[in-house]
């Protein structure tokens, strides 16, 4: 595997799309936690 000279820039460009995925995962987890708490409050 050849490592280019601008490896840090390439690494940042490759890691950048991960941030929205993490944000979506956190938002989805909060949404599921809210729905679960809501259902527990309504049901119990």
Q: What count of Cα atoms within 13 Å lies in the side-chain half-sphere of residue 16?
A: 7
d(CA 6, CA 3): 8
- Give the model's pLDDT for residue 44: 74
Q: Quick check: helix, strand or coil at residue 11? A: helix
d(CA 15, CA 12): 5
- Give the model's pLDDT for residue 14: 66
Per-residue model confidence as pLDDT tens digits over 1-44: 665 555 556 666 666 778 888 999 999 999 999 999 999 999 87
Q: CB of 10 within 8 A of CB of 4?
A: yes
- Give the model's pLDDT for residue 8: 58
Q: CB of 40 within 8 A of CB of 34?
A: no
């Amino acid at each position: 595997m050849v490592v280019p000279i601008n490896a840090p820039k390439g690494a940042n460009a490759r890691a950048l799309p991960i941030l929205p995925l993490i944000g979506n995962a956190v938002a989805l987890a909060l949404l599921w936690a809210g729905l679960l708490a809501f259902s527990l409050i309504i049901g119990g």
